[in-house]
Amino acid sequence: MSDLEAFYGPNAGYVLELYERYLQNPASVDADSRAIFDNWSPIDQLNAEQIATRQTPSREVSKIVAASELAHAIRSRGHLGARLDPLGNEPLGDPALLVETHGISDEDLAQLPPEVVGGHSAEGARNALKAMDALRALYSGTISYEFDQVKSPLERGWLRDAVGLQLYRTPSDTAFRRNLLQRITQVEIFERYLHQTYPGQKRFSLEGTDVLVPMLDEIIKAAIDCGTGEVIIGMAHRGRLNVLAHVLEKPYVAILNEFGHMKHEEGVPLTDSFGFGYTGDVKYHLGAETILVEGATVDLKITLSPNPSHLEFVNPVVEGMTRASQERNDHKGVPQLNVDHTLPILIHGDAAFPGEGVVAETLNLWNLKGYTVGGTIHLIVNNQLGFTTEPQDYRSTYFASDLAKGFEVPIIHANADDPEAALMAVRIAHAYRNQFHKDILIDLVGYRRWGHNEGDEPAFTQPQMYEIIRTHPTVRELYSRSLQEQGVISLKEIEMMQQRAFEILEDAKNDADASFQPFEQEETNGLNGHHDEPEEPPAISAQALKKFNTELLSWPEDFSLNPKLARLLQRRATTLGSEGGIDWGQAEALAFASILADRIPIRLTGQDVERGTFSHRHAVLHDQYSGEIYIPLQHLSQAKASFAIYNSPLSESSVLGFEYGYSVHAPNSLVLWEAQFGDFANVAQPVIDQFIASGRSKWKQQSSLVLLLPHGYEGQGPEHSSARLERYLELAAFDNWRIANCSTAAQYFHLLRLQAHNLLNYPRPLVIMMPKSLLRHPLASARLQDLEQETFRPVLDDPSAQNRAGSIRRVVLCTGKIAIEMLAYKLRNEAQDVSIVRVEMLYPFPAKRLKKILKNYSNAHEIVWVQEEPLNMGAWSYMSSQLTTLFEPNVELNVISRPSRPSPATGFSDLFQFEQERIIEGALRTTIRHYGGEHGD
Ligand SMILES: Cc1ncc(C[n+]2csc(CCOP(=O)(O)OP(=O)(O)O)c2C)c(N)n1
């Protein structure tokens, strides 16, 4: 109650009012007030009431109010006055942080009791001035906070308590501090050793933000204490070698070996890469895994995802890996998510974080049911430069972290020259994530001791900054000096620490030199297969398919499905008879059902996938009255694995990166991503180029991700026609993935099953050009026996041409929808000398099968590749080089297409129609020869 003696008159009235609010809901008052009220007794309340009735001189009241406003300003805007820059730049400041702005002086504060400031800083302080100083040290020191963007009062209260009550202060015992110094010493000496031993070689030194490593140590320690099973880290080049060595425990010998013996600076290892398809990556992009064993029982797996040069694109990949690690899917229904099992950490650059859009896309995932991972700890390694570019040229906001505020992410800024402050930041971050399962970000403000890489001269572009850095002591020097002054460690011990760290590196270098082996042949196991054949999945009985179908068309009795949709779905009950008519959506559902029955979990995501962009899937049913949903694939009696389906946010890069990461980390799951229209995947091109197409060759990363890309020319204009098949074909090499374009629902059914059954023994991404008009086309539909008896066929010969093979003069080769259009075209029956052969699997190229089919048409004198796409797009460039090896030289190879164009399709429907008919007629009439070309025929 002594607190209250200091308050009188209206101020005590205010306190009482606050107290009443506290009694109703403790979270509704600020943390500091709450801390006081937590210790109040009923007597205190009585006294407060008495005090409140006394008269107060109004000047005193206004000083108290001013002091309390100042304290509030420090708590909410202290970061604007914080000493965050090790290089000594002045903070931005804010008038609200100045005493005089509030109409009072330090002398006034010295007259007021410390309780007007409240919280931890008031404890033991002689007066409000002292308490205010302590408050400034908490909020505007070498650590500071931005919490006001967090909407939940409960969370804000928790965060204020964490700071105000110093709940997560870094331990101050001698052993802890000495260990911390030792760690910083290892980090620094490692960089110095590399600098001296391999002058000019790129390593993207961490010096200037060295404390990142002990920060990661601290998070990992906290994770172990919480029983976390896995920590997954994503980061770019900066400090990666240091993290690999000290956090992932990659042996020094291995790292030094890479330095000493790289044939080429950009990292081609000395393997016979032409023989094995593994071409590797530069050392500062490599990933690693380690298992930390603490005591007898606790194992923590730490994974550092490999990273391409494209900054920040690893973010969604790490989130997807994390989600995969958090889910159990060995049961039917929804996967069981345990976000406490895995902790993701994303380390960003200060220029890349606000600059690369994929960061915002990834932040947007945190609270979405298909994507949440229960919070990510973000760390910006802020060295105040992006290559040679300064903050005023690479971001429009004051702090590098400002983007995150829009996502309600709490932000902690820390000065990288104060290791204890930096550690407190991660201690709070981990506890917050643990408590609220939300993202939190630390902006670690440091500097970069060298150029962007070690071959760069930074003084060319930042002369003044580097003049300061040249003489600025390292964090190790600063911290050891501080510990020495406090008597925690002696100079001799400090020197011995350095000496020891050097010796260990020297020993490793000797070992590296002695043990170097130029060929890594054994590591290429599993990567040397060229054009392997995937294994056929087991056959599936008609009876089983019928049972699946019945269950897929069942929902609870009291479930009110939209009557129109119910009728639509009921049509599927009739298609397993002799009439057939199984359309794409139904074939897919039956394939999924059979895959789930075979214990293979499925995850399907993309924009509007639950219904399907073309209203063809309807995997998720909605009750018309309650809004409840029902997903038949989660209720199948025979399902033995989970089925997850989520509409994605409107994003391609982050969601595709996420699914790639998921597929890598859950290799036994069938993971599918569907683009709304195929060419929207262009927006995710870095994910396709850097991960899906090349991850295996660069990092031996295995993925069986399926990309479903709607493709086909139907008069919908330039951006809704082409999935840019040519791009996938161009990236195809060394059996890196499979590219298919199915023309029937049955083929799609079998292809899905083929992929699902080869997840582990033949893992490859699969790109499928998906149809639109074919989704319900009778000629593309399947009969029950097609599903029961057939398997996926990479090439489909023309059944109608079998009995007249000898009279075929022209073999039309094509892929996908155009085949069905030609078969359905009015002139088809007249074109008796034409056979229409469909290439359903474009890559790996089905050379043997095609050759066999072509051989059958021994009198054909012409092979024509027919495509809807312009000549410079589609499969033609790829096909033309592949096809020439398949037939005799006297056979002509021609092409029919739209003429070469910069835009994939016309926006005019009449022009589209005209061109489409010309292509089809040109293919079917052997007398007409108008082929596509640069300017048309
Ligand atoms: C998508 C992409 N754009 C450009 C680059 C080229 N680049 C590599 S590092 C870098 C500067 C990055 O600055 P920052 O994010 O602050 O990280 P730092 O290197 O300073 O640690 C640039 C422009 C890249 N790697 N990726």
DSSP code at position 522:
G
| C-alpha span between 399 and 569 (Å, rounded) | 54
CA 189 to chain centre: 33
Is the CB of residue 416 less than 8 Å from the CB of residue 210? yes
Return the SS3 of 865: strand
Question: Could you tell me the distance, in angstroms and rounded to a whole number, from the CA of residue 456 to the centre of ligand 1?
Answer: 14
Which atom of ligand 1 lies at the shortest distance from residue 349's CA?
A: 15
Alpha carbon separation from 326 to 2, 280, 299, 342, 909 (Å, rounded): 51, 29, 16, 6, 49
| Contact present, 597 and 638 (Cβ < 8 Å) | yes
- Peptide bond connecting 308 to the previous residue in cis, omega within 30 degrees of 0: no
pLDDT at 521: 41
User: What are 50's two structure tokens?
Assistant: 């008495």
pLDDT tens, residue by residue, 647-666:
999 999 999 999 999 999 99
Long-range contacts of 103-106, Cβ-Cβ distance < 8 Å, separation of 24 or more: 103/62, 103/66, 104/63, 104/66, 104/67, 104/70
What local confidence, expressed as pLDDT, does residue 262 receive? 54
Q: Is the CB of 208 under 6 A from ligand 1?
A: no
Asked whether the whole model's pTM tops 0.75, one would answer yes
Separation of alpha carbons 672 and 602, rounded Å: 8
pLDDT at 932: 56
d(C-alpha 556, C-alpha 92), whole Å: 62
Distances (CA, A) of 293 to 229, 244, 299, 732, 826: 11, 17, 5, 41, 71
Nearest CA to ligand 1 atom 22: 387
Ligand 1 atom at minimal distance to the Cα of residue 355:
15
84 CA from centroid of ligand 1 (Å):
22
pLDDT at 423: 98
Closest residue by Cα to atom 26, ligand 1, is 310
869 alpha carbon – ligand 1 mean position (Å): 37
Check if 114 has its Cβ closer than 6 Å to any atom of ligand 1: no
The alpha carbon of 189 and the centre of ligand 1 are apart by a number of angstroms equal to 25
What pLDDT, on the 0 to 100 scale, is given for residue 28? 78
Distance 387 CA to ligand 1 centre (A): 6
Between the CA of 305 and the centroid of ligand 1 the distance, in Å, is: 18
> Tell me, what's the pLDDT at 284?
87
Number of the ligand 1 atom closest to the C-alpha atom of 352: 15
- CA 309 to ligand 1 center in whole angstroms: 8
Contact 861, 891 (CB under 8 A): yes
Under 8 Å between Cβ of 316 and 294: no
Q: How far apart are CA 788 and CA 99, in angstroms?
A: 82
The separation between the first and the last C-alpha atoms of the chain, rounded to the nearest angstrom, is 96
Q: Please say whether the beta carbons of 451 and 457 come within 8 A.
A: yes
C-beta 310 within 6 A of ligand 1:
yes
Among protein residues, the one with the nearest Cα to ligand 1's atom 2 is 310
Q: Which of 207, 387, 388, 445 to mutate to test the pocket of ligand 1 (most atoms within 8 A of CB)?
A: 387
Kindly report, residue by residue over 89-124, the tens digit of the pLDDT.
999 999 999 999 999 999 999 999 999 998 888 888
CB 404 within 8 Å of CB 139: no
The predicted structure's pLDDT at residue 528? 43
CA 350 to ligand 1 centroid distance, Å: 9
Whose alpha carbon is nearest atom 24 of ligand 1? Answer: 310
**CA dist list (Å): 808 to 710, 802, 803, 836:** 33, 10, 10, 10
**C-alpha count within 13 angstroms, C-beta hemisphere, residue 654:** 23
Query: Residue 14 has what pLDDT?
Result: 65
Residue 311 CA to ligand 1 center (angstroms) comes to 6
Cβ-Cβ contacts under 8 Å for 517 (sequence gap 6 or more): none
pLDDT for the residue numbered 41: 60
Placement of tokens 């005019």 in the chain: 908
Q: What is the pLDDT of residue 267?
A: 46
Q: Is the CB of 349 under 6 A from ligand 1?
A: yes
Show the low-confidence residues of the chain (pLDDT under 70). 1-17, 40-58, 261-276, 294-298, 516-532, 927-937
**Using alpha carbons only, how large is the chain's radius of gyration in Å?**
33
Mutation choice for ligand 1 from 240, 307, 311, 388, CB with most ligand atoms inside 8 A = 311
Retrieve residue 443's tokens.
Answer: 């902006």
Is any atom of ligand 1 closer than 6 Å to the C-beta of 357?
A: no
